[in-house]
Amino acid sequence: MTVSTLLAHFGVNVPRYVTMNGEIVFNNVVPESGGGYFHSTHGRVTAVPDHTFHGGPEEADSELSGPARWWDDEVQIMRHVEAMKKAFPNFAYLPASDDLNPCWIGDINTGRGKFRVGVVLRSDKKIPSVTLLNSRRLGAHAGRRWQRSPHLYDNNNPCVASCDDWDPEDHTVATATAWAAHWLAAYTEWRISRKWPVEGCQTVAT
């Protein structure tokens, strides 16, 4: 089913979930006793927190003074590492180096396309940067004209959520990855229909 079909059937404000491979699902999900959610076909899934797709300039990372970075604290970085192992175990973790922030690289398979994605933590603890690593332009041909995808930053990275959606004390890089999967599900549908199916996710408990 397309995202639009699912939204028409279940409603715009129902919870949605992402599988470990990156596919968005709406139904056949039950809570697990130890926390988390389980899908009858896909196994463990991750809830997609509320967010809104945007665009415009992507805010530059703010370099902090001094040599230490927050991810030097093992407790803080392991919160992200463990969340990704649970939600998206196929993503590879690349620890920080002299010229690279901690990041994860892996494939998101929307069911209608596979994308190599990089998710990079920021020094200022704001929403991680999401980028597509397979060098494709995000858009589609409209006759002889190239039509740029909606909801891109000016640097062509996908804008998976508003900065205000991000809570550094509650969210992890797995949150940003789930938002990226939701964005890519909408994008793959837009490429076919030229209609962006949903502006984000604002759930109402059922």
**206 domain residue, yes or no:** no
Identify whether 126 is part of a domain.
yes
pTM above 0.85, yes or no: yes
Indicate whether 139 belongs to any domain.
yes
Report the distance separating Cα 12 and Cα 15, nearest Å.
9
CATH number at residue 57: 3.10.110
C-alpha count within 13 angstroms, C-beta hemisphere, residue 90: 12
Domain count, the chain: 1
Residue 6 clears pLDDT 90, i.e. is over it: no
pLDDT tens digits for range 82-139: 999 999 999 999 999 988 999 999 999 999 899 999 999 999 999 999 999 986 789 9
Is residue 119 a part of any domain in this protein? Answer: yes
Residue 143 lies in a domain: yes
Distance CA 183, CA 201 (A): 10
pLDDT tens-digit series, residues 29-59: 999 988 899 999 999 999 999 999 988 999 9
Find the domain containing 167 and state its range. 3-201
At 164, list the tokens. Answer: 């205000």
